[in-house]
């Protein structure tokens, strides 16, 4: 019986030792210890300034100047002042026969125009009526930056 007890205790001891060795082996990593890389030197961040917001387009500038010219012709104190304003306004156009289209109705993207006229006739109309009832809805410029076509709408 002593032999059985001895064998049993050796078997138990061996089993406990094997389990302990496995547990210890599982806890330790077999990878080599790697030195951590030194932190990279701080990089100076260059802050790019955003580009300045784009200014108004050539069409917007021309439209604003024309609106002012139309109002100046309509509000002229006398005929000679109105004629001066007309001459200044005509300098912004490619020629005196530049077409002026006045939209009288639009539905589903289809526009109906009043009888086409020229800029010279339209400026004379403003001088005679002394009222500017339209605003610029579309403007086209030629290669020289002069107005080549103008579309107006009722205010």
Average pLDDT, the chain: 84
Let me know if residue 145 belongs to a domain. yes
Asked whether the whole model's pTM tops 0.95, one would answer no
- For the chain, give the percent of residues with pLDDT over 90: 59
Residue 96: inside a domain, yes or no? yes
Q: Find the domain containing 65 and state its range.
A: 58-154
Per-residue model confidence as pLDDT tens digits over 18-36: 766 666 665 555 555 566 6
Give the β-pairing of 117-118 and 110-113.
unpaired
Could you write out the DSSP letters of every residue in 132-153? --EEEEEEEE-TTS-EEEEEEE
Residue at 15 is within a domain: no
Q: Is 24 part of a structural domain of the chain?
A: no
- Indicate which CATH number applies to the domain containing 122: 3.10.450
Residue 27 lies in a domain: no
Three-state DSSP at 70 gives helix
Write out pLDDT tens, residues 59-90. Answer: 899 999 999 999 999 999 999 999 999 999 99
Question: How many domains does the chain divide into?
Answer: 1
pLDDT tens profile 95-115: 999 999 999 999 998 999 999
Question: Which candidate, 136, 155, 153, 154, places its Cα nearest to that of 92?
Answer: 136
């Amino acid at each position: 019986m002593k032999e059985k007890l001895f064998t049993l205790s050796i078997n138990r001891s061996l089993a406990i030792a094997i389990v302990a060795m496995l547990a210890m082996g599982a806890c330790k990593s077999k990878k080599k210890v790697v030195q951590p890389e030194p932190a990279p030197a701080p990089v100076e961040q260059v802050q790019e300034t955003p580009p300045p917001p784009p200014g108004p387009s050539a069409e917007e500038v021309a439209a604003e100047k024309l609106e002012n010219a139309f109002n100046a012709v309509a509000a002229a104190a006398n005929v000679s002042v109105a004629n001066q304003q007309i001459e200044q306004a005509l300098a912004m156009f490619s020629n005196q026969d530049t077409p002026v289209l006045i939209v009288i109705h639009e539905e589903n993207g289809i526009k109906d125009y009043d009888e086409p006229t020229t800029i010279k006739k339209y400026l004379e109309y403003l001088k005679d009526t002394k009222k500017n009832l339209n605003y610029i809805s579309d403007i086209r410029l030629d290669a020289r930056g002069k107005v080549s076509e103008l579309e107006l709408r009722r205010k």
